[in-house]
Structure 1
Amino acid sequence: MESSSVIETVEGTNGTAKKDNSPASNESISNEGPASKKVKLDDTGSRKVDSRDKGVARIRPEFLLPKPSNTTVSVEPDDDDAEAGGTKRKKERGQNKNRRFAKARETVKFCEALKDGDGTCRFGKDCKFEHDVQKYISSKPADLEGTCPVFDAIGYCPSGLKCRWLHSHYLAEAGKVVVDEEKKGTAGREINRIDRDTQNTLQKKKFPVPKSDKILPYLDSLKEHDMVANDGSKQGTETKDNEDQDKKDLAATYVEPPFLASEKKPLNLHHAKILSPLTTVGNLPFRRLCRWFGADVTYSEMALALPILQGSKSEWALPRSHTSEIPGFGVQIAASKPWQAVKATEVLTTACDTGIGGIQDVNLNCGCPIDLIYRSGAGSALLDSGSKLIRMLKGMNYVSGEVPVTVKIRMGTRDSHPSAKKLVARFVTEGDVAAITLHGRSRQQRYTRVADWDYISETAQVVKDLYEARDDKDKEQRERRKVWFVGNGDCYSWHDWWDAVENYNVDSVMIARGALIKPWIFEEIDARQYLDKSATERLDMIRKFAQFGLEHWGTDEYGINNCRRFLCEFLSFSCRYVPVGILEVLPPKIQDRPPMWKGRNELETLLGSSDYRDWIKISEMFLGPAHESFDFKPKHKSNAYEAEG
């Protein structure tokens, strides 16, 4: 190992900032990992200076494995899965298209209204589900060993009689489900739900959106009489005075003036540790895990505006959050038309059960690169429609009340024509957004090549220059708050994060894949040191995710199947982590791929496996044996290789 590259200090305590005293489920693992190490980088220079082999993570020789035979398929992850989901790109990339996930079915289907051991079914004898408790319990498979993780955490189990750990909170003689009222009263809960009546109102298109009804005609007038081109230049017209007067007349019809961004609930993103909106893996349990590791701000998975307006149950599951995420939880939406974005914003900020307390900001996605979103005119397609994008943000700002509006963009749609600087200048000048996040890649680039942090820095300087040059005599400009500017792309270590905030003009850095691979990156940022987590610590992190997942999806067979599926999705990223203790060169780079390696013990080797069957094996440590109907198909065929016989 190159002794001049890093300084390692072994500490007597582990690297985990928070401890969990609940019983661990990994007692069967006999080979304990080494004590956690904090590895501190000696060189704090620019991220451009790097002597390593390009694209290769250098492993210490004693942990290298022989090169695999020709019959073994190597894994080449496609990082479009991180922030964007699936994509219809080249077939040779090896994705499993059209994945299907089997759902567990009960032999005897019990009535949902009676699952708590009491209650009344409103259908009575006409109900098609079973009402006989003993018959249902006898039809269930044997309970799983141990205590119900959900009951142990929050004092009751929402799955009731359907729980696979029923014996731990059911008094069979009394026919009663046990509830610990004291623990239940202090436990966190999920918020931003909508009730069935609200959902039905949305489905019938009867949900009131009075603010949207006022602002949309005005936005339409801006479309018809837009005086500013997409590139920011003025368009000449002979009827400019008349058109300006028309817009003023229409604006004068408003009963209530819109909030300026400076009048809304303030955001504070200065050096905030931000988790990016992530598709599939950025679910509520994963966000809770990142909060547990120290994230300050989290975002929902990208929700499509139209299904939100249609009351889609699956889409409304995305804005749901946990009280541990408050304050600092934002909802991201994607829309192709102004009316969709505006109405969805008003619905989200009024229908959620906690109002502005449950949503910190509404974020408009203008960076999603996948074809399905782009071709519909949403996501990164909005980067080529600057005037439409401005109208969307203006309308969202009007209807969101005190909830600020933020935006996430890419450099542009094409490598040769970055447009972010001009767009950002318009965002700041218009004053309708509270924060801007720039991902340092184009839509064309996707996740190939490293993020362009020089361009991010130049764009951040545009924001800074606009504020320094603004007229102090202009009251409206003077009262506007600073627009936060956040960078995004390739942040995989505390060194990357601090390098960005100290040397690239940004207020903070939004972390995406780095958190998927090692969620404790937020701890590292606070400590300004690498945390060499032992295998047992990482396994405990997986146990924590499983606990949060069971609280969210339920402890019945269906919920366990869901939890197992999303745990495997999480492991498809976390298996890419190479422990810093076996690396020869630091800092680690997210684009680097290691040769075949083995861990410092068998458990560490297992956690680094890219075979999906090993992910299922890991899930069984906390969720019990996989149901015979469970069939997890990984996103990449290379993760589904057959073992050599």
Structure 2
Amino acid sequence: MGEPENITTVMAADASELPKPEDLVARSIVPVKSAFLRPHSLRSSSSSLNPPSTGDAERNERKDSDVFNKEKKSKRQIKRDRQKDQKSAKNICSMVAKTGDVTACKYGANCRLSHDLDGFLKQKEEDLPGNCPFLEIGECCPYGIACRYSGTHREAAVSATSTVLNIKLSETNSLNKDVQRHLWKNTFKFPMADAQLKLLGLKKGNYSKGNDEIKDIENGTDRSHIPTKCDDDDTISTIVDDAPSKICVNNGSLEDASDVNDIRPQKKAKIPIDEECDITKTDNGTAPMEIEKHSRGETDSLNQKGNSTIVDVFPTIHTREKKLIDFRNKLYLAPLTTVGNLPFRRLCKVLGADITCGEMAMCTNLLQGQASEWALLRRHSSEDIFGVQLCGAYPDTVARTVELINSECSVDFIDINMGCPIDIVVNKGAGSSLLTKPMRIKNIIQAASGTVDKPLTIKVRTGFFEGRNRVDSLIADISNWGASAVTIHGRSRQQRYSKVADWDYIHQCASKTSGSLQVLGNGDIFSHLDWNKHKSDCPKLSTCMIARGALVKPWIFTEIKEERLWDISSGERFDILKKFVHFGLEHWGSDSKGVETTRYFLLEWLSYTYRYVPIALLDVIPQRLNWRPPGYYGRDDLETLMASDSAADWIRISEMLLGKVPGDFGFAPKHKSNAYDKTENG
């Protein structure tokens, strides 16, 4: 796996055939010094730019058979397997595992999980090397004998009379069960959002007065909650009481179907809105505060008939009245899908990040009380400036979600994603699709900013189509609509990540803003040199958001703060991976399920980190984000292993941290970037 003895001789003999560093840069290939290059790695076709696997023959065979060709199961089979697994001895009841007492579970024989302690201990995998992560932080392990580090516990099990400490005290923004039930039953009330929507004239689906907007076909029903299904002919079937009616074609936007009269309304509106909601103000111009006592559905004497009547409304909150976030010169970790989880954000905070933001959460899923979507809002106590990012297609959906988060979560700001390029998001009218609908952008910002006192920020791309930028025409109005900051990703939706970010256009937009709106740039930040250049080129730019650069090398925050290029060793990089695993076990758990969840997210992250090439190996410094690494040898075996683009080798790294993978384990990277020819391996 290490560098062969004759590699220098081989490369010296063939040096005349190697391309020059400037030629490699022109082809977006990392110019690695010839002494470290694998033979023929630069003379092959572009499809062979990635290094071969460094694992042994058995591991490579496994990569081809198991890692990427894992058998897909139907939903019915998955459900059957889950039910079968639930009854097995390995799926032990958590209370029994915590206490070691089969009588500790309050459900007794009616519990759906196993109470077979002996059976669990017989099939339990060996303990992992190291100490229990909870004991290291001075907490009582909540997993008891189910912990994969149970041999290091001070006691074999927690006594039945002891109180299990809340190891999640450092994490906030959990989904309250009462709130979830009200969301499931559609009884959660949104007085602030409904008042603001009526004030703006956006009730009953009248989302815009512009010609580029669409009307709600349900005459008042919030269509964003109606499930949709994409058919093979690129149409969308809207399902109302099991009666599908195709009303959307080709471009993913619903056509004006106000003339469709045969569609029955839903039996129960998702979020009731009272028609008599009136905006009344006192003589001094403020709105009275006689509203329902609690947004979770509690009623008072003014609501005796069971109506969802909202008696009064709150005055619109102006941007100047909000507590603003000063983004200037702060290191901002972008919201990152899948990899931007809480443990990774904790790691970036340790390495120097100032501001963090949760992964993009869909408004409709949050309003439906989906626990998996609410998990994206979790916040750690170390995140002193923390925001959440939402994605929605309509003003009412976004405004109600914003009010829900404001009342149930601890956040410093709320970001609305208007630049997501993913097809499934765009086809629902959200994300970068909004860039083609400026009036809806206005309505969403006004509705959301007038609902809460938290600062509202938005994230956009330069435009929808390449060569047709349009953010510069909106930038002057965004502040008047209620946003306090805007992040501009220097690519169009059509470009995805395939071309270099257009920072000249970002600077052009920043120069058109007033003093109240902060402009943040985003795209291709991969060193402190990139950061300093963009900041010096445009004094009006508040800061630069760091996204993929943090995925490839999270120590970029340290580099920017210390104004240096860190020639980090393989051992230091491995220590960073260890810290992530430690944070992951604290967050997802130290039992078998938590260990495998931590492994999955570690592997997703490793599908980015292999793209980093150590400074000492480069002919041209610094490395650029869009350069693709050729096959090369590291300075030691571990560095060579970290340079591999093989998922089998990523699994090997995970086994060094989390033990052997289960026999049926399989992994393929979830994320695919157009900036690289190939991200799958094998």
**Counterpart in 2 of 1:292?**
350
Structure 1 residue identity aligned to 2:357: Y
Looking at both structures, which has the greater relative contact order when contacts are Cα pairs under 8 Å and sequence separation is at least 6? Answer: 1
| 1:603-645 C-alpha deviation (Å, 9 max, x unpaired) | 1111111000111111111111112232112346956645xxx
1:188 is displaced (CA, Å) by: 6.4
Give unpaired runs (5+ residues) of structure 1.
1-28, 30-48, 78-94, 232-248, 353-357, 468-481
Instruction: Check 1:493–1:177 CA distance in 2 against 1; reply closer, same or farther (3 A cut).
Output: farther
How far 1:340 moved relative to its partner?
Answer: 1.0
Aligned to 2:173: 192
CA contact (8 A) 1:216 1:395 kept: yes
2:432–2:493 Cα contact (<8 Å) kept: yes
**Residues 188, 175 of structure 1: alpha-carbon distance in 2 compared, 3 angstrom cutoff:** closer
Is residue 304 of structure 1 aligned with residue 362 of structure 2? yes
Tell me whether 1:64 sits opposite 2:2 in the alignment: no
Partner Cα distance (2:667, 2:377) in 1: 25
Q: Which amino acid aligns with 2:32?
A: I
The residue that corresponds to 1:329 in the other structure is 386
User: C-alpha displacement at 1:256, in angstroms?
Assistant: 2.3
The more displaced of 62-71 and 499-508 is 62-71
* Residue 209, structure 1, aligned to residue 190, structure 2: yes
**CA spacing shift, 1:544–1:259, aligned 2, 3 Å:** same
Work out whether residues 561 and 630 of structure 1, in 8 Å CA contact, stay in contact via their aligned partners in 2: no
Q: CA deviation at 1:263?
A: 1.3
Tell me the CA shift for residue 592 of structure 1.
Answer: 1.1
1:512-531 pair list within 5 angstroms: 512-531=547-566
Distance in structure 1 (CA, Å) of the matches to 2:486 and 2:649: 40
Q: Map of 1:588-627 to 2, 5 A cutoff?
A: 588-627=623-662
Paired with 2:436 and 2:158, the residues of 1 have a C-alpha distance of: 66
- Is 2:410 aligned against 1:436? no
| 3-state SS, counterpart of residue 116 of structure 1 | helix
Q: 55-64 or 118-127, which moves further after superposition?
A: 118-127
TM-aligned CA distance change 1:309 to 1:154, over 3 Å: farther
Deviation, 1:141, is 2.2
**CA distance in structure 1 between the aligned counterparts of 2:161 and 2:572, rounded to whole angstroms:** 34
Structure 1, residues 523-542: CA drift from partner, whole Å, max 9, x if none? 01101110111000000000
Question: Which position in structure 2 is the counterpart of 1:136?
Answer: 120
Residues 466 and 492 in structure 2, CA contact (< 8 A), matched pair in contact too: yes
Under a length normalisation based on structure 1, what TM-score does the superposition of the two structures give?
0.76
Partner of 2:499: 449
Instruction: For 2:628 and 2:381, locate their aligned partners in 1 and report how far apart those are by CA, in whole Å.
Output: 37
What amino acid does structure 1 have at the position aligned with 2:38?
L
1:157-306 matches, within 5 Å, as: 157-169=141-153, 171-172=155-156, 189-221=170-202, 255-306=313-364
Matching residue within 359, 366, 373 for 2:411: 359
Where 2:581 maps in the other structure, the secondary structure is helix
Q: CA deviation at 1:230?
A: 7.3
Asked whether 1:111 is paired with 2:88, we answer no
Contact 1:367 1:380 in 2 (8 A): yes
Report the 3-state secondary structure (helix = DSSP H, G, I; strand = E; otherwise coil) of the residue aligned with 2:129. coil
Equivalent in 422, 431, 451 of residue 473 of structure 2: 422
Compared CA separation, residues 205 and 174, structure 1 to 2 (3 A)? closer
Matched residue count: 534
Distance 1:177 1:493, change over 3 A: farther
Once residues 349 and 498 of structure 1 are traced to their aligned partners in structure 2, the CA distance between those partners, rounded to angstroms, is: 35
Kindly report the root-mean-square deviation, in angstroms, between the aligned alpha carbons of the 2 structures: 3.3
CA contact (8 A) 1:170 1:176 kept: no
Structure 2 spans left out of the alignment, 5+ residues: 3-21, 52-67, 214-277, 282-286, 288-311
State the AA in 2 paired with 1:434: S
Amino acid at match of 1:57: V
In 1, Cα distance between equivalents of 2:70 and 2:412: 35
Q: Determine if the alignment matches structure 1 residue 574 to structure 2 residue 558.
A: no
Q: Does structure 1 retain, via aligned residues, the 8 Å contact 2:398–2:448?
A: yes
Percent of pairs identical after alignment? 37
Alpha carbons 1:190, 1:320 under 8 Å: kept: yes
For the residues of structure 2 that align with 1:174 and 1:415, how far apart are their CA atoms? 61
Match of 1:339 among 369, 392, 396: 396
3-state DSSP class of the match of 1:302? strand
Quote how far apart the aligned CAs of 1:360 are.
1.1
Q: 1:478 corresponds to which residue? A: none
Please tell me the residue identity of whatever aligns with 2:522: N
Q: Distance in 2 between matches of 1:462 and 1:534?
A: 44
User: Which TM-score applies when normalising by structure 2?
Assistant: 0.72
Distance 1:51 1:283 in 2: 35
Q: Relative to 1, partners in 2 of residues 1:634 and 1:526: Cα closer, same or farther, differing over 3 Å?
A: same
Contact 2:419 2:493 (8 Å CA) reproduced:
yes
For residues 20-40 of structure 1, what are the alpha-carbon distances to aligned partners after superposition, in whole Å with 9 as ceiling and x for unaligned?
A: xxxxxxxxx9xxxxxxxxxxx
Which residue of 143, 151, 154 maps to 2:135? Answer: 151
Distance (whole Å) between structure 1 residues aligned to residue 29 and residue 158 of structure 2: 63
Q: Is the Cα–Cα contact under 8 Å of residues 485 and 506 in structure 1 kept in the other structure?
A: yes
